[in-house]
Every structure is written in C-alpha cells, then in structure tokens.
Amino acid sequence: MACSASNMKFAKDINISFENITYSTKVGLFKRNDKLILNDLSGEFRSRELTAIMGPSGSGKSTLLDILSGYKNSNKIIGKIKVNESIRDPKQFRHISSYIMQDHLLHPLLTVEEAMSFCINLKIGKELSDHEKEDKIEEILLNLGLYDKMNVMTEKLSGGQQKRLSIALELIDNPQVMFFDEVTTGLDSVSSSQCIQLLKKLAENGRTIICTIHQPSASIFESFDHLYAIAEGQCIYQGESSKLVPYLSQLNLICPEFHNPSDFLLEISTHDYGYQLDKLIEKIKNSRNHEFRKHLTLMAAESTKNTLNSHSSLKAENNPITLCVKRAKLNARLNILDPRSYCNDSDLYSTSFLRQFYYLYLRTFLLITRNPSLSLMRLMIHLFVAIFIGLIYFQVGNSAKNLMNNFKFIFYTVMFLMFTAFSSLQTTFPSELPVIKREHFNRWYSFSAYFTSLTLADLPMQILCTVIYIVITYFLTNQPLELFRFTAFFTINLLCTFVAQGYGLIVSSLFNVKWGTILGNFFICPFLIFSGFFVQMKHIHQALHWLFHISFLKYALEGSVYSIIGFNRTKIECDEFDKEISFCRYSYPNQLLRDIGIQDCAKNNTSNENCDAVMLDNQKHDFVKVIIVLAVFIIFFRAVAFCIMKYRLKNN
C-alpha cells in the first residue's frame, strides 16, 4: 500500500540520535519516591528505516517515544537529543515531525472528507488553491484505501480504517519524521500487516518512521529495518531484526525453531527463562554496541548525496509544503524542507489566527449541531420545561395575590437556565482533550484559536435555547407586555447563562467527565445558597456578606426581579384575596422588593413619601451594576478556564 506522498523525496535525510537519556517520575500518594523509567539510553534512528521500539508493558518504550517526539518535555529528562548532529529544539522540531498516538483520536461526527478538509485548511494556508487541496485529499485517500469511505462518519470506520485516517491526516503537510505509539493496537492481523507495510513505504521514500509495538507477529517483525528493545528502562538489543536470533544465541539463549523471535525476546524480558537482562544489557552495552546495526555503505552514502543534489530542482508537486513561508521567502511549491533552517516560534503554525478560528468555529459548530445531546435534546428540554413551568405559574405575572409566586418563577428561571448552560460545556473539554492534544501538538492550530472557537461556537445554540424558554414562559405567565421589561429580563438571563458556561468550562478543565459530572453541581451550591432566595443578606452575620457579593446568581436574580417587578411598576389589581385581610399587601410591587430584602428605604433613613423615587434611582444604578458584574464574571471565568486548559495541554 502506498501513501499520497509516496512519490515525494526529501532533500535532506533526518536522523535522530539521543545520548544518556534518563527519566524518573514521582510515585506514591503520601511518601513520594522517585521511580526510574529510563536509565541512560542512547541510540540513533535513521531516515529511510522503519524503526520499532519494542518491549513488555511498563518497560518505558512509550515514554522514550514521548521524549523523542517532544510530547513529554520535563526538567526531569536528562540527556541530549540531536537532529542531524545538532541539539534538538522541541518547538522547532515540531515543524518537521508529527505524532500519531495509540488511540484513534478522531471526531466521530465528521465524515472522512470533512476531517481531511478541515485538516488541510488548518495546516496549509493559501499556498495551495482549493482545487489543489481537493486533489491532494483525493490522492491521499486513494493511496490509503479510504477513497470509497469519503462520505462515511469516522465513528463507523473499522479500527484499521481509523488508523489509516489518522495517518492520512498527518500526511497532509508531509512531515519528515513520524512517531507512532502502539501502531497495531486494536487491529487484526490483516490490518496490522497493511499498516506496517504503509509505514515501511513511507520510510523508503525518505521519512524517518519510529513506532512502538508490544508483540508483533513474525511477518511484521521481519518488516522492521531497525529494532530497539527495552526492558526495565534499559536497552537489551538494538540492531536489525534479522540479527536478533544470532545475538541471543551468543548468550546461549537459543530461540526454538518456528518460534517468533519477538515472542522469545519478550519472554526473556519478563524472566520466563530466569533473570537474563544483565547479560543482554552488558552485551549491547545498554545501546552503545552498534555491532548489530545496519551499516551505511559507501554506495548508500553516495546515493544520499546524489539525492540531495538532484531534488533541489524538483517540480512543485514533488516537494513537501513548507510551513515557514515567511522565513524561507520561497514559494511553498518550490521549497525544500531543510532541517538545518527552522522557522521562528512565531511561525509555528502555518495559518493565521483568524483562519484557524474560522475553520475551528465551523468544525465546532458542525459537531454541536450533529450531537443530539448538544442540539436537539437541549432544544427539546427548553421547549418542554418552558411549557410545563408556564402552565404551573400560569398568569401569575399580573396578579398581586400571586406576586410571591411570580418571584419564585423568576428564581426558577434563573436556576434552570443557569444549570442547563453550565451542563452544556461541562463535559466538552475533557471529552475532546485527547483529540486537542494531538492536533495542537502536531501544529494544526494554536490553543487560543481553539478556545475562542469553543466559547463562541455554542453561543447561537445557547441564545436559541434561551429565546425559546423566555418567550414561552413570559407570555404564559402573563408578565408585563413592555418591550423594556422583556428585553431586560432576557438580557439578564442570557448573561447568566454565559457566566454559567464559563464556570462549566472551569470545571471541565479541572476534571475528567466522571468527576466533573459528580463535583460540578457541588461547586454550584455556594453560588446557589448565597443567591438571596434561600437566605437574605440582612439575616446573616456581617462577616459572611462577602459571599453574597461573589455569587453571580445573586446579581442575576436581582436583575431579573428588577426587570419584572421593579422600576416603579404600576399598581396591580388584587381581585381576589382573603376577606380577613383588610388590604392587598402586594398591590404595590415595591413592597415585595422590601420583603425579599433586595431594596429597603428604611436602611437609608428615607421617608415613605420619597421612598419610591429613591428606590427607582437605586434600581437604575443597581441594574447597570448587575450587567457590569455579570460581564466581569463572564470574562473572569473564561480567563481562568483558558489558563487551566492551556496548562493541562502544556503539561500533557
């Protein structure tokens, strides 16, 4: 099986070498001890070779791959990593490499064609026309056997097809170095063999292909050009796969006839034949013995030199697209990617922020509309609950007798819209985090562009849900038919939903889906208790008043009450009331504001004659304050969520 870039040759081979790599991590809950994961490893992974890092579970092979790719970047990593004999800069190295992780990290609700289209528009700017991009997508899919699946959702692809699609996405910009973690995990024998042959073809055409694998079959094992075996953090073999059996026989470890050499090596690594690791490590000198490596002949070196010279004049379609147009100052179709000349950090991404945001917004909005729980279900919940609540509080809005019930309706409206908005984004980030890690690390887009698109893509859906609920309940409950009051009531509740979404983003950035669902509502409780509905600020100790001032629900409730009941609402007729009561208490709505503790003239020593005028002025001032405070909460919560998410991405 060939790939779309199988005909592309590279002007410069990329060889990755590493020296004395040591890495440890902390383990234990209370007594934190250092656990050595990698112990003084060295080696070289060459271009045009398919390299396999093999070892039993927990041997450190995935950790080594993460370190070499730059995915794991910690100050606990000791040693040197070089690219063509030059010290590797992790950020610069990302320009010429990509990392395909173990799991099939794809958006399930996109078709194959859509996934490829978004990828190519994010990774390649205006260097290619739309027609050229379409041709490139078709060529890649044809050669990877996915062309007939272009209109199939990725969630309906088989495991092998999803693996090939993951590779296809990263081939868009022709990376010269490709890392694969557990490349055959979850695949059957046929799909595994096809995948390995694809990687071998990519290596033969000039790329540096490095993959980890746990237990390959005999046929797959023979396909590897270079084998780097690890056990307990140390190298027990490095060299050609065909030389493994002779290497073991020199240590009196005879592989049984018709036995898979990779199985035999793993059995030795797990001490099935006694503890033999010291002999293996000493024999290979912990990766410093190159006796079993494939040696470059003089003819091969001359061929590489000729390749370097001949490809300087290749046509546009036979060269990798540069990601460094500004730095190189060459047409992307004519540029030869030279690992000796990296881009500036500012040119890490091939497209501008606005272009990234545009395509990420389209993709996120498309995923939201296709996700039943984020679209249709949300709309139906708001519709049915609006009708139900409207019937429960039917026509209480213009009845003095039911003015307290009207206040309860206002409170329920704020709570319902807040909880639904909070839940809408509560699980979004943790569920997408693995995909975001892969795409962000492989230079698809900046995190700023992703976060902006995430927060804005849901706005149309949230606005629509709020409109449905507010319009239905407002008229069923017979609230005042005044444009100002309706607009104010809608605005306050909409701002409250935006605050709740920001808070949901904070929770989702801190926890995974399970813990976010469990603890999310718990973290809402303090805001709920100090909203002013269950207990009034004047009834608790002054030392706790600050808790009311940091509750965004208090401001949302006050603003909603002002919208419906405040602003000197005219007298409400009380047609029915208990005959034992000589007057209708809430015929004048300002009395309710005094009873629920939102405003009171007594604390300002204002006479009853001037009370209404003073309350009106205060309400105007407080309403503007409510809008400003809610806007501050929106910005603050999103800023906190942004910092936490970026930290999690940076530290993996």
Model confidence at 93, pLDDT cuts 50, 70, 90, reads confident
Angstrom distance (rounded) from CA 325 to CA 349? 11
Residue 430: Cβ within 10 Å count: 20
Per mean pLDDT, which range of 191-195, 317-321, 376-380, 394-398 is the poorest? 317-321
Among left, alpha and beta (phi > 0; psi -120 to 50; other), residue 121 is alpha
Token pair, residue 169, equals 């996405």
The type of residue at 261 is P
Give every CB contact of residue 273 below 8 A, 6+ residues apart in sequence: 253, 267
Which pLDDT does position 630 carry in this prediction? Answer: 94
- CATH T-level fold of 16-108+175-309: Rossmann fold (3.40.50)
Smallest CA-to-CA distance from 364 within 122, 627, 15 is with: 122
Token pair, residue 646, equals 């970026």
Q: Where are the domains of the chain?
A: 16-108+175-309, 311-339, 353-571+583-650
Average pLDDT, the chain: 81
Smallest CA-to-CA distance from 412 within 384, 380, 389 is with: 389
Angstrom distance (rounded) from CA 46 to CA 12? 12
Judge contact between 517 and 431, C-beta under 8 A: no
> pLDDT tens across 512-541, in order?
777 877 787 788 888 888 887 877 777 787
Give the pLDDT mean for 570-586. Answer: 61
The type of residue at 285 is K
Model confidence at 311, pLDDT cuts 50, 70, 90, reads very low
Token pair, residue 111, equals 């078709």
Model confidence at 182, pLDDT cuts 50, 70, 90, reads confident
Determine what percent of the chain is predicted with pLDDT higher than 90. 29
Angstrom distance (rounded) from CA 61 to CA 72? 13
Q: What is the dihedral of CA 375, 380, 382, 386, to 10 degrees?
A: 160
> pLDDT tens across 265-303, in order?
998 988 888 888 888 999 998 888 888 887 764 434 444
Token pair, residue 482, equals 């005044």
Give the pLDDT mean for 395-412. Answer: 87
Q: What is the DSSP letter of 577?
A: -
Token pair, residue 631, equals 């806007």
Nearest 5°: the CA angle 144, 146, 152 is 155
Longest Cα–Cα distance of the chain, Å, equals 111
Q: pTM of this prediction?
A: 0.78
- As beta bridge partners, residue 18 has 43, 81
> pLDDT tens across 477-525, in order?
999 889 999 999 999 999 999 999 999 999 888 887 778 777 877 888 8
Give the pLDDT mean for 52-71. Answer: 90
* pLDDT at residue 254 tops 50: yes
Smallest CA-to-CA distance from 202 within 344, 82, 51, 89 is with: 51
Angstrom distance (rounded) from CA 40 to CA 35? 14
Angstrom distance (rounded) from CA 253 to CA 243? 13
Token pair, residue 62, equals 């995935």
The type of residue at 519 is L
Which pLDDT does position 472 carry in this prediction? Answer: 96
Token pair, residue 567, equals 């602003």
